[in-house]
Chains A and B, each alone.
Chain A
């Protein structure tokens, strides 16, 4: 209970608008001119000193993007984005590819300290006694520091900014980039393909169990800047990796665009566990400002008996449009999706997953917990599909929504399709409210209204929290309470 108590204390100490990570850092940055055209794409590519094939790959994506309509099927509502009014590249000025932490702008390190990110290796060691976490930090669009490189290299693990991998491991990048999310995939992924500036690259060689958790922290700092990071993780045969992703952004009155692409590939018997705690600035109580989070995340279980597991805790962003998915291509492969999506204030969430069963005897599991409070709207949208040759596909979906108060909404939109008669799909869904009876019961036993709500919500999301690595679970539990601040009483 200590954690719940702590969360409650923290909830009490902040007011609704006091987004803890809402500071702006005074770091000089280098930007490309506003707007988007082929020159900007070339500029970004040139900045990274990219090979010609990649420049061409970007340009193709850009040309394709120009012909695509912006999707409008999600249950979210926002003014049209003027894509010419954004910066597509912003890099902290003093970091032309730092080799180690000493070369990183100390102000930047202070930012990460403020964020509570244990970037320095000794801090990591001090903070997490038994498990080490290697961190890649992406600031605006550029990866600024990656820790534990040497130790990872010993195990043969590659963990570096993708901009670096383009040069050091071009064969891997060329082989896998866009192989899960093709440049033509969707409006935002296509845009990302054209303008992505950095992100993390991970390769786990055959038979290697990655010796530590890998982690990336994303931070948007600059005004009017889109963040388009690109993450590519490959788990070769029989390997395993657990990867954590955390996100924050400063408080700004304007909306900021975040359109990331994450691609995961597992070969035979490999496993990737991908966890996200997303805490982008959600906007203020009236819905002003906040991040537009339009993200494409997809995993390809390419090998037999491989496994990909997505766990996400979504508490931030003004708008969330996100469907981490699994393509179950290898026979007996397995996909999992565990999600907690919380919306408060004026937040809008349209999130869920896709489980595409292609191989034989593939299984998938979806556990989604949506919590809506304030004037927010929270939609679960999920697809489960078994193709013709996917004999004995199995899916279990459990989709629960919890409403707090009278002015929020929860929606569940499942798409289920089996083209093979042997498929067995189960779908369970519930919608409940924190009842006055429950609140009174808890209060009669001595809990305040906030404590009672935190307790009930933590119970509601327990199945999913248990999927998170320990350190993240504690952080997530705190976040949940903070994001529900002001939703009771």
Chain B
């Protein structure tokens, strides 16, 4: 469970998050929708611990523990996962090498034994098969020369391996055609679990046809201005954000 309480954050002195509060319970899939510039991506960065953002107030509790003092790697080991809108390329580092390094770094940080290579291979292969990730992709340098769809699938594969307790999907639908969107969504849905919570950030309701949320929040000017059920997304699709954007001012 993640609880965000009265969060304030800024970058270069510019306030982006203005007293935002939000709770996502275990097993819940919450969607955040909002116009460009409402602070959605910043929220994902502040939660996951990207440097350069000043948190000027509030707290973020992961299963009761404030994670704001931890660096990004420590938060990851605690179970925070961010599926990037634009996954980064790491030239010369094979996907397999990267995955193993990350998984074992997290395990080490939690005081667990590192996975042996055969055990690791088994897990990766099983995960890759489910997502239709071909074996040769695992031997290529991470995200280098991958298509948009391949990159997003790789994000979901990483998520399935790292088994986070709280996952943020940042505009996961951007750049995906319908087929890729379906595959990625199925991958995410397969990871839905009573102990895992999701925050799905999106512009468009389209994604929410595939990943059906339990709750929908509307974000504007760094705050949650409206919370509802999945029908709220349909209403936004029909009427746009204008009914809500004014309220936060």
Interface residues of A (CB under 8 A from B): 1, 4-5, 435-438, 440-449, 451, 455-456, 458-463
A445 with B84: in contact, given A438-B90, A451-B101 (CB under 8 Å)?
no
Shortest C-beta distance, B193 to chain A (Å), equals: 20
A443, B102: Cα distance in complex, Å:
9
Tell me which residues across on chain A come within 8 A of B141, comparing CB atoms. 459
Please tell me if the beta carbons of A451 and B105 are within 8 angstroms of each other in the complex.
Answer: yes
Binary per-residue interface labels of chain B (96-115) against chain A in the complex, 1 for a CB within 8 Å, 0 otherwise: 01101111111001000000
Tell me which residues across on chain A come within 8 A of B162, comparing CB atoms. 445-446
A459 with B91: in contact, given A446-B105, A447-B101 (CB under 8 Å)?
yes
A446 with B90: in contact, given A436-B51, A441-B84, A459-B141 (CB under 8 Å)?
no
Shortest C-beta distance, B138 to chain A (Å), equals: 14
The interface size of chain B toward A, counting residues with CB under 8 Å, comes to 33
A1, B104: Cα distance in complex, Å:
10
Shortest C-beta distance, A277 to chain B (Å), equals: 19
Tell me which residues across on chain B come within 8 A of A451, comparing CB atoms. 101, 105
A460, B104: Cα distance in complex, Å:
22
**Is the C-beta of B205 less than 8 angstroms from some C-beta in chain A?**
no
A445 with B92: in contact, given A1-B101, A455-B101, A459-B141 (CB under 8 Å)?
no
A203, B100: Cα distance in complex, Å:
45
Please tell me if the beta carbons of A4 and B101 are within 8 angstroms of each other in the complex.
Answer: yes
Tell me which residues across on chain A come within 8 A of B71, comparing CB atoms. 443, 448
Shortest C-beta distance, B212 to chain A (Å), equals: 26
A225, B73: Cα distance in complex, Å:
47
A124, B84: Cα distance in complex, Å:
48
A447 with B105: in contact, given A1-B100, A440-B72 (CB under 8 Å)?
yes
Shortest C-beta distance, A176 to chain B (Å), equals: 39
Please tell me if the beta carbons of A444 and B82 are within 8 angstroms of each other in the complex.
Answer: yes
Shortest C-beta distance, B42 to chain A (Å), equals: 13
Find B73's partner among A435, A447, A462 (CB 8 Å cutoff). A447
Please tell me if the beta carbons of B73 and A456 are within 8 angstroms of each other in the complex.
Answer: no
A448, B76: Cα distance in complex, Å:
10
Please tell me if the beta carbons of B52 and A462 are within 8 angstroms of each other in the complex.
Answer: no
Tell me which residues across on chain B come within 8 A of A438, comparing CB atoms. 88, 90
A455 with B93: in contact, given A438-B88, A446-B76 (CB under 8 Å)?
yes
Please tell me if the beta carbons of A458 and B93 are within 8 angstroms of each other in the complex.
Answer: yes
**Is the C-beta of B197 less than 8 angstroms from some C-beta in chain A?**
no
Tell me which residues across on chain A come within 8 A of B48, comparing CB atoms. 444
Tell me which residues across on chain B come within 8 A of A437, comparing CB atoms. 88
Sample of 26 A–B contacts (CB below 8 Å): A1-B97, A1-B104, A5-B101, A5-B104, A436-B52, A438-B88, A440-B50, A440-B51, A441-B90, A443-B71, A443-B72, A443-B73, A443-B76, A444-B50, A444-B73, A444-B80, A444-B84, A446-B103, A446-B109, A447-B101, A448-B105, A451-B105, A458-B92, A459-B93, A460-B91, A462-B92
Please tell me if the beta carbons of B92 and A447 are within 8 angstroms of each other in the complex.
Answer: no
Tell me which residues across on chain A come within 8 A of B224, comparing CB atoms. none
Shortest C-beta distance, A313 to chain B (Å), equals: 15
A440, B87: Cα distance in complex, Å:
11
By beta carbon, the residue of chain B nearest A402 is: B91
Please tell me if the beta carbons of B73 and A448 are within 8 angstroms of each other in the complex.
Answer: yes
**Is the C-beta of B77 less than 8 angstroms from some C-beta in chain A?**
yes
Tell me which residues across on chain B come within 8 A of A4, comparing CB atoms. 101
Most buried by B among A435, A437, A447: A447
Q: State which residues 45-103 of B face A: CB under 8 Å.
A: 48-52, 71-73, 76-77, 80-82, 84, 87-88, 90-93, 97-98, 100-103
Most buried by A among B76, B81, B101: B101
A455 with B109: in contact, given A444-B82, A446-B77, A460-B91 (CB under 8 Å)?
no
Please tell me if the beta carbons of B93 and A445 are within 8 angstroms of each other in the complex.
Answer: no
Shortest C-beta distance, A84 to chain B (Å), equals: 48
A445 with B87: in contact, given A440-B51, A459-B141 (CB under 8 Å)?
no
Please tell me if the beta carbons of A456 and B90 are within 8 angstroms of each other in the complex.
Answer: yes
Tell me which residues across on chain B come within 8 A of A463, comparing CB atoms. 92
Tell me which residues across on chain B come within 8 A of A1, comparing CB atoms. 97, 100-101, 104
Shortest C-beta distance, B153 to chain A (Å), equals: 16
Find A445's partner among B50, B76, B91 (CB 8 Å cutoff). B76
A456, B98: Cα distance in complex, Å:
10
A444, B88: Cα distance in complex, Å:
12
| Additional pairs, 15, CB under 8 Å, beyond known A446-B109, A446-B162, A459-B91 | A435-B88, A438-B90, A440-B50, A441-B87, A444-B49, A444-B50, A444-B84, A445-B106, A445-B158, A446-B73, A446-B103, A447-B105, A459-B92, A460-B92, A462-B93
Please tell me if the beta carbons of B93 and A456 are within 8 angstroms of each other in the complex.
Answer: yes
Tell me which residues across on chain B come within 8 A of A459, comparing CB atoms. 90-93, 141
By beta carbon, the residue of chain A nearest B91 is: A459
Shortest C-beta distance, B112 to chain A (Å), equals: 12
